[in-house]
Structure 1
């Protein structure tokens, strides 16, 4: 039996899938299987997969049922003790599996380990942005507030966790990842490898840009989570909603729409007024002000300089 099962859902993904698979086959840790779940693609994935000679790579085909169902199919067919998920357009650095396996081996109480994430463009060029979090331990509420994992291609999960918490929720189109990570963190400690070992590809037609769908799904995740928490922790619910609207405000900032960013910031304040006194509120307000005064180009220039300084402080080279 392989130590790790790598699950790659794929739907008409041949533009990036070969490069994604190559990043797995180049891992320094080699005791794995790769389960590519063809989710009803109409491209040439079957012909392409039939030419792969590495016996660790298997193709499973099903009718189109979207990403949660594809991941569930991968989990059901996985033989590994640990399961790592990888979207068909993302890439791993060569030591990702090695370092995550070591973490789970050394910390048997941990259910999930994630890594830092480097954002890249369509051509795999770094954008200068890094998702770097130090959140770990018993932190389910922090996942709802800050979503430090940030991508479905980052975590490696102990296979037994799914026997406890169940599979991905097929009814969630925009937030099945967050829902699953919170469910795991509610039962198990989580850990982080503090290196950018995932390259998350940002595409202009990203599925995640449907704001109304995101809000609907995130609300469902929050309500489902807080339906089962102790009464003394219900105060965290409004903080989670504030965090959701903060995230939407930053998406509006990225689009240069300061009026929409102000609207989402106000929604965050209505849910959790104390957020006004936090450092993240100050950063968002400065970003909104810069776009308002200097336009998107002026803001982008200042942000690029800030990212360079942040990377140097983190000791990360890209």
Structure 2
């Protein structure tokens, strides 16, 4: 569990781990150099299964690497400190991985929650079976960084040494401050042949926090494109065949994010570019594309403030 300035949420995240029906775990909390009360809250828990590791700020990828390097388990679950686990999450993923030795990454659907922890109207319900590298690149069925439980032997295939600190092992690419999870999933699948498979249920509570800026969407898109360029260095055929539709799906996703932020003009531009890149997307996923188009049109006609009030309970969760 990477921790950086999440004092409002970290207690809920820790409680959700300690409430697991599967009890044979260690919870490694990585202090990523924040300056609020997050670590004071974490240190207030008295449970021998909790271990706290401190580091200078390295970002989410760096904190995950530190946690993985410190861990001792056969399986590794990721939990961002503003998200929560369903009480049966670890038990169900443990059963899945024990019963299916060929699966390297187990994941599930996610329930969207708001800042207070209340469930939102829409959830992530990804495809669970027959997942290949193209589907991971285009649609990222894992969905978010708190959904995956990974087999250690599988992710060890990706381990490298930090050139600036040779004693430090890395799995996630620390040069990414965004898109680090999709970069890791694609690399696991396309470069190392790791099998991904999901299980039924909304076993992660994924928090949507207001206050993002449209500029963050641009940063996210630039980071995602950097991921695509990196993928091309080791899987050129995958990118040649699926790079354009993958970019279109990403632009459609970002158009929905722009609508969330009340930027109708930006969302129109993003959606227009997505459809220009891949017109087939409208036929392949007519419901999602139609809903996105309707939201963009409504935001344009009603104005950002009025549209946000009317659609907030739905759009907050509609991000896939």
The residue that corresponds to 1:229 in the other structure is 235
1:49-64 correspondence to structure 2 within 5 Å: 49-64=42-57
The residue that corresponds to 1:253 in the other structure is 259
Q: Cα distance, 1:266 vs. partner?
A: 1.9
Check the 8 A contact 1:112/1:184 in 2, yes or no: no
**Cα 1:102–1:294, aligned 2, differ >3 Å: closer, same or farther?**
same
**Cα 1:303–1:57, aligned 2, differ >3 Å: closer, same or farther?**
closer
1:1-318 correspondence to structure 2 within 5 Å: 8-166=1-159, 167-186=171-190, 187-206=193-212, 210-229=216-235, 231=237, 234-278=240-284, 279=286, 280-295=288-303, 297=306, 301=310
**Cα 1:306–1:10, aligned 2, differ >3 Å: closer, same or farther?**
closer
Structure 2: segments with no counterpart, 5+ residues? 160-170
RMSD: 2.6
Check the 8 A contact 1:17/1:89 in 2, yes or no: yes
Distance in 1, Cα, partners of 2:34 & 2:48 = 22
Structure 1: segments with no counterpart, 5+ residues? 1-7, 311-318
Q: Which string of whole-angstrom CA distances, capped at 9 and with x for unpartnered residues, describes residues 66-105 of structure 1?
A: 1111100011111000000111111111001011111111
Q: Cα distance, 1:254 vs. partner?
A: 2.0
The residue that corresponds to 1:5 in the other structure is none
Q: Cα distance, 1:190 vs. partner?
A: 0.9
* Secondary structure of residue in 1 paired with 2:76: strand
Check the 8 A contact 1:137/1:189 in 2, yes or no: no
Q: Cα distance, 1:31 vs. partner?
A: 0.7
Distance in 1, Cα, partners of 2:74 & 2:14 = 20
* Secondary structure of residue in 2 paired with 1:149: coil
Q: Cα distance, 1:299 vs. partner?
A: 7.9
Q: Cα distance, 1:136 vs. partner?
A: 3.1
Distance in 2, Cα, partners of 1:215 & 1:76 = 29
Q: Cα distance, 1:285 vs. partner?
A: 2.0
| TM-score relative to the length of structure 2 | 0.86
Distance in 2, Cα, partners of 1:301 & 1:211 = 23
Q: Which string of whole-angstrom CA distances, capped at 9 and with x for unpartnered residues, describes residues 272-307 of structure 1?
A: 233343413333222223333445646875786899
